[in-house]
Amino acid sequence: MGNETVYLNGQYLPLANAKISVMDRGFLFGDGVYEVIPAYFGKLFRLDDHLERLDNSLKSIRLQNPHSHEQWRNLLTPLLKKDLDQSVYLQITRGVAPKRDHAFPQHVTPTVFAMVSGINPHSDPDNGVKALSIEDSRWKLCHTKAITLLANVLLKQAAVDNGCTEAILFKNGYLTEGATSNVFAVIDGVLMTPPKSPAILPGITRDVILEIARKNNIPCSEQAIPMDELRKASEIWITSSTREIIPVVDLDDEKIGDGKPGALWKSLYKLFQEYKLSLR
């Protein structure tokens, strides 16, 4: 740790040498957004989709994007290794202000940081993970990929404290998403996920799964899912850019289906891997 090359404000340098001011508004207020972009075989995956989401997040917090999509591609690609599957973490804050004041500072340059990590998708066809259902206590702008993640951290830790991989969240009796993921369920043979709204992050992996399902004539639907229906699901999945598709086999100490990854997860997982390989 420390020797990896990262990008910070126009420079590529070792992680150990990357420093920001304590007056950065990301540090003081969580005033910023982030994006996580997978890269397979050294190529950024669905980059335009990720950058469109970044555009929307920046617009939501009234911060201008410092780069064009093509500039982002040229900026991020040198961080990648062609023989590895990786993910890029990109963070933009409002920048370093002369004083701590909640109001937006004037004439401040955004802080731009990017680093790369490995990807380790779930690939065990025989075992899934446990999840815990928790009331969604987050703010009303969950479609903004903000760095203000304390609520998510606390929800995730509650799951970990109970021996679970993820917290599956609900509000007013309906599924929203996971603390760090989107959620899918197979109910009466139909693959379902909540529709896009300010209550959930519009996941890129979520969109890819729906595209693959439709292309392969797998019945799927974006619709509200009551928690009592979720508990009756034959399969539940959590999805994200860095973990891809993970089967949940236990929710609140109750087995989902037969307690093993389901047939549709195995099929979609295979189709997802084939789709990745097609991009080489």
pLDDT digits (tens, 9 = 90+) for 42-51: 999 999 999 9
- What number is the average pLDDT over the span 247-268? 97
Q: What is the pLDDT of residue 3?
A: 76
- Cα 216 to Cα 264: distance, rounded to the nearest angstrom: 12
DSSP letter (8 states) at residue 148: -
- Number of H helices and E strands in the chain, helices first, is 7, 15
Q: Above 70 in pLDDT, residue 2?
A: no
According to the model, what pLDDT value does residue 269 have? 97
Topology given in CATH for the domain delimited by 5-118: D-amino Acid Aminotransferase; Chain A, domain 1 (3.30.470)
Q: pTM (2 decimals)?
A: 0.95
Of the pLDDT bands very low, low, confident and very high (cuts 50, 70, 90), residue 120 is confident
Whole-number pLDDT of residue 109: 97
The closest of 46, 50, 37 to 279, measured between CA atoms, is 46
What residue segments make up the domains of the chain, in order of their start? Answer: 5-118, 129-277
How much of the chain, in percent, has pLDDT values that exceed 90?
A: 95
- Residues 82 and 41: beta-carbon distance below 8 Å: yes
The backbone region for 162, taken as left when phi is positive above 0, alpha when psi lies in -120 to 50, beta otherwise, is alpha
The catalytic residue positions are 145
Classify 86 as helix, strand or coil: strand
Q: Is the pLDDT of residue 52 over 90?
A: yes
- Closest of 243, 170, 167, 233 to residue 205, by C-alpha: 243
Q: In 31-119, which ranges are continuous DSSP H helix?
A: 47-60, 69-76
Give which of 121, 229, 228, 240 is closest to 179, Cα–Cα: 240
pLDDT digits (tens, 9 = 90+) for 64-83: 999 999 999 999 999 999 88
1 pLDDT exceeds 60? no
pLDDT, tens digit, for every residue of 258-270? 999 999 999 999 9
Which CATH entry fits the domain spanning 129-277: 3.20.10.10, 3.40.50.11540, 3.60.120.10, 3.65.10.10? Answer: 3.20.10.10
Q: Judge whether 40 and 161 are in contact, CB under 8 Å.
A: no
The single residue listed with the structure tokens 């899912």 is 225
**Is-contact 236 256, C-beta < 8 A?**
yes
pLDDT tens profile 130-158: 999 999 999 999 999 999 999 999 999 99
Phi, psi (degrees; rounded to nearest 5) at 172: 55, 35
